[in-house]
Amino acid sequence: MIRVLLASRSGAIETAVQSSASIEFAGRLDPSGLPSSDLPGDVLLIEVADPNEHDWPALGDLPIPVVLLIDPADSALIASALRSGIRGVISWDATPQEIESAVHAVNAGLVVATPTSLAGILPEAQSFADQLAEPLSGRELEVLDLLAEGLSNKLIAHALNISGHTVKTHVASIFAKLGASSRTEAVSQAIRRGLVML
């Protein structure tokens, strides 16, 4: 179980953390006065309300990985945070599933950032989704998210309350649109194109 510390004044984010079965809420810290050591958790989530309130290099030097919940339009701030060693940057309105995924990713040693946030930092990180000849439908994106979680067609059908035949149709369409020949290749393409978040 990954222990998550929260530096936020928002009850919604605490609720999102506590609703997860795979991460544990380890406590709340004051966003304006974070300790530099003795953090009783594995990952620190910080909701950034006022960018001037934080010392990015100090946060990057903390002994546990930091994930910021931030306005994704502020690319200069995001660039500064990532250069300072902060491991994750996600949108302040991220879903509970996105928060959980970000926590798992940074705990595993990865760096997490949404395609939208990277677009203002790296020219090559512009959304690859625009390059698809035919965009994925909303339902196909839902199926793709579950593919990325490793669910079988049967479990996807159950989760979305659709038939197994319909799932097969969606999967075939996803493969065609992404130019993939397997589930692994489809998920890899989707991650590269920013269609799913780790």
pLDDT digits (tens, 9 = 90+) for 41-95: 899 998 887 767 767 788 888 889 999 988 766 777 777 788 888 888 888 888 8
Give the mean pLDDT of 104-109: 89
Q: What is the pLDDT of residue 191?
A: 78
- Choose among 38, 100, 28: nearest CA to 63: 38
Return the CATH class of domain 128-192.
Answer: mainly alpha
Per domain, the residue ranges of the chain are 2-125, 128-192
Residue 117 pLDDT > 60: no
Who contacts 182 (Cβ-Cβ below 8 Å, separation ≥6)? 175
Mean pLDDT of the 99-121 span: 78
For the domain made up of 2-125, the CATH class stated in words is: alpha beta
